[in-house]
Structure 1
Amino acid sequence: MGTRHRKIRKLRGSRSHGWGQVKGHRSHPGGRGNAGLMKYKWSWTVKYDPDHFTKPSLNPPNRKIVKKWINVGDLDGFFLHSKSNTPIDLEKLGYEKLLGSGSVQGSYELLVTSFTKQAQSKIEKAGGKISPRS
């Protein structure tokens, strides 16, 4: 076959060389779908789908739920001016546990979901009372 009869010679000057409109022969320039994710599309993979090539693992164990706590020593700052003997519900104030750090001046009647032995002894020594919230 002579060079002058080849298709490329015949299509010189035709702009699209048989591929239609201007965008012709460009419909899937990077390949289809996930082609090249480990090659020329690697930067995309790292940014947008970092777990694409990892093995499926077991579900992580349930996270430990951290309770919001308050120390015995902080109670005076909150309730020093409250003279009434009504029980103070710490859970309504957002605290779930009473810890025993610090010292207590006032006597308080407290309702708490959970508390430590040290916190209980300090409150009772100061003339107060802790009752577990049910």
Structure 2
Amino acid sequence: MSDTELTNHKRPNTDAVITIRCIKSFEYRTCKSIVLQHVNLETTTVGDLKELVREKIRTTSGWKPYLNVVFDTLKLYTVAHGHKTMNLIINMEDDDRLIYSDDSAALAWLGVENETELSFFNREQYEAYKAHPDMKW
């Protein structure tokens, strides 16, 4: 196969798999993941994704402990074959670039690809944790 044939076999932006790490507590490292399949990265916006995940939390069994968390912020954790952070709960680097604050932006515009992992959390709790990153047991 030639190089051009290999590049033509990439998964299209209309059928991506994304993992959302829903973080309940930074201090206790409590999180649970939702795997979303067949996400159209070109038409799905940040706001659409947030609402989709909130709906999954409300309607899927096993998520009762997460119902009282106010999830309001998405941040890139890692992309497929990219480097991972040393922090097991969230990527604490480069907030200005990696936090997706524009709810109208399409995921593809932000660089989200197939097999990307995003963190979904409460921004106020994140800022408090970032100021004092203590782990509790």
Report the TM-score range of the alignment, normalised by the length of the smaller protein: under 0.3
TM-score normalised by structure 1 residue count:
0.22
More strand by share: 2
More helix by share: 2
Q: Does 1 or 2 have the higher relative contact order (CA < 8 Å, sep 6+)? A: 2
